[in-house]
Chains A and B, each alone.
Chain A
């Protein structure tokens, strides 16, 4: 099922959470809402779910106005940031909850409920934990139970609020891939909120980058990364160096050279700090002329070749300079 959000506005007191936001999510698409905290991404997600009402604008689901339905009747699966598992129910009963609620006429028979829940527990690979209570599970396990609970009612749309926010780095990566595979199997529209650009770029089909209640840009990860619409998007998607107030360059797009190889127009800088652990080497520099700090990222090979040490003077040449209008502040 497709979701379309049209001209949504939402204000909390004097605070404008969303200003005229429009976005379309096609069936089978996994869309990331990416932005800093306070950018309105969670509010937008809650409006799609029906947990919040927009001040103006509409939410269409399969072309039908969904704003007249409450959260209860929208048939969305929602995974909360802190999971919101029912603490007094076991894993099994948490997952069965949505099915058991239904009126007799539409409720599947007990045996079918049990089968469906078992299947979901197997799917989330927690087969042996069905009788546990939420407080007996680890963060990653809770997260998966929350997802299974949302999927049990066969939602038409899956909405996830910072789904991996509270997990440690390794579990996070694992669950991320798992979510991607799961989404592809289910063929539903999914939206997830994150403030982690790496996560958004790695998992999603499309990224909508939000800032101060507006969508700054939306497109495929490659599109937004390669052709950022403005300085905010560019800066939010990775580290940047700023030249002359409006020209930006990524640390990996700075070439370093020993001073004798001095080329005309190059910037002279001195090495302040070297972080040599990892696949690339990060070099912190300070410009000799203006005193401004620069970050450069070079390959290990290049680093060995240059044999840099703290205090050395180098020339810095930007390979790929981007100029944006000095509009949105970060």
Chain B
């Protein structure tokens, strides 16, 4: 007893605080290097966008972003994301469900297919659709005969965007669903759940944060996609111009203030996306 008390009363030995840290010089120089890189490659360009956008004042900014062509571009981008994201939500959940919960022949092929849009340059992705649906493409003559326009029209833009953003939801969900296994689903089945009840009451609540995360990324990319859309769009102002394409056109017209004003809209979307992403990652 006496020894126990003595050891409690003994003055605490100061713990060395730097057991696992590097010397201050190394720590500081690495930190400064990282901050400098961050500032140079991320913060500075972002600030530049807004500085340029507001160079000629609020009034000029408002005029630039309320121009009919800009409004049309905003509408088209929203429409594209509004169709591509729900489609990829459904495809992504279905694909992830199949891959994570079942074993079947061709599973590896499916996983590879899902990754193709990530592996292929967006320009190629756009070209694929031109080759399939363009005037000289496989379905070109038939589409022409029925007066349906895909390439250089809105359907092509939506198709290309859907293709490019396909992996986001599925990629997010597959590891999550694999780690969760299927025991909870089996438990629901044994308790009398139908397939849909099992999905909506067990699977969906379990993946909701990962799913939202995937949707946020998918939306951001849908709104920001340039390469593939550029190939299939035809750049018709007020008709087939999405926001990123509109930025390019304004820039090429030497309308820097306008280009940066529209670019600032995309930057705001990016910042919102990051905030949402961080929030969802923490919620998960």
> Which residues of A line the B interface, CB within 8 A?
49-51, 70-78, 80, 82, 84-88, 97-98, 101-102, 149-150, 153
A84 adjacent to B186 (CB under 8 Å) = yes
CB neighbours of B135 from chain A (8 A): none
CB neighbours of A84 from chain B (8 A): 183-184, 186-187
By Cβ-Cβ distance, the 7 closest A-B pairs, closest first, are: A98-B191, A84-B183, A84-B187, A88-B205, A78-B190, A71-B189, A84-B184
B side interface size, CB within 8 A: 16
Complex: A84 Cα to B187 Cα, angstroms? 7
A86 adjacent to B187 (CB under 8 Å) = yes
A153 adjacent to B183 (CB under 8 Å) = no
B190 adjacent to A87 (CB under 8 Å) = no
A76 adjacent to B206 (CB under 8 Å) = no
Complex: A10 Cα to B18 Cα, angstroms? 60
Complex: A217 Cα to B138 Cα, angstroms? 68
Complex: A50 Cα to B197 Cα, angstroms? 18
Name the contact of A87 in the complex, choosing from B188, B192, B206 (C-beta under 8 A): B206
The prevalent SS among residues of A at the interface is loop
B189 adjacent to A72 (CB under 8 Å) = yes
B193 within 8 A of A: yes
A18 to chain B, nearest CB (A): 19
CB neighbours of B187 from chain A (8 A): 78, 80, 84-86, 149
Name the contact of A51 in the complex, choosing from B190, B193, B197, B206 (C-beta under 8 A): B190
B191 adjacent to A149 (CB under 8 Å) = yes
A88 adjacent to B189 (CB under 8 Å) = no
Given contacts A72-B194, A101-B192, 15 further A-B contacts (CB under 8 A): A49-B190, A50-B190, A70-B189, A71-B186, A72-B189, A73-B192, A75-B192, A78-B187, A80-B183, A86-B184, A86-B187, A88-B206, A101-B188, A101-B197, A149-B187
B191 adjacent to A101 (CB under 8 Å) = yes
A51 adjacent to B189 (CB under 8 Å) = yes
A72 adjacent to B192 (CB under 8 Å) = yes
CB neighbours of B183 from chain A (8 A): 80, 82, 84
With both beta carbons as reference points, the residue of chain B lying nearest to A152 in the complex is identified as: B191
A170 to chain B, nearest CB (A): 26
B117 to chain A, nearest CB (A): 31
B51 within 8 A of A: no
CB neighbours of B188 from chain A (8 A): 86, 97, 101
Name the contact of B202 in the complex, choosing from A77, A86, A150, A153 (C-beta under 8 A): A86
Complex: A78 Cα to B206 Cα, angstroms? 21
CB neighbours of B205 from chain A (8 A): 88
A283 to chain B, nearest CB (A): 38
With both beta carbons as reference points, the residue of chain A lying nearest to B197 in the complex is identified as: A101
B113 to chain A, nearest CB (A): 25
- Chain A proximity mask over B169-210: 1 for CB below 8 Å, otherwise 0: 000000000000001101111111110010001100110000
Name the contact of B190 in the complex, choosing from A76, A85, A86 (C-beta under 8 A): A76
B280 to chain A, nearest CB (A): 16
Complex: A70 Cα to B197 Cα, angstroms? 15
A102 adjacent to B206 (CB under 8 Å) = no
With both beta carbons as reference points, the residue of chain B lying nearest to A97 in the complex is identified as: B191
CB neighbours of A102 from chain B (8 A): 192
A206 to chain B, nearest CB (A): 23
What are 9 inter-chain pairs, A to B, with CB distance below 8 A?
Answer: A50-B190, A72-B190, A76-B190, A84-B186, A84-B187, A85-B184, A86-B187, A101-B192, A102-B192
CB neighbours of A82 from chain B (8 A): 183
Complex: A98 Cα to B201 Cα, angstroms? 11
Complex: A74 Cα to B183 Cα, angstroms? 18
Complex: A78 Cα to B193 Cα, angstroms? 14
Choose among B189, B190, B193, B197 the residue with the greatest number of A CB atoms under 10 Å from its CB. Answer: B190
Complex: A25 Cα to B186 Cα, angstroms? 23
Choose among B188, B192, B193 the residue with the greatest number of A CB atoms under 10 Å from its CB. Answer: B192
With both beta carbons as reference points, the residue of chain A lying nearest to B202 in the complex is identified as: A86
CB neighbours of B190 from chain A (8 A): 49-51, 71-72, 74, 76-78, 150
B192 adjacent to A98 (CB under 8 Å) = yes
CB neighbours of A150 from chain B (8 A): 190-191
B184 to chain A, nearest CB (A): 5
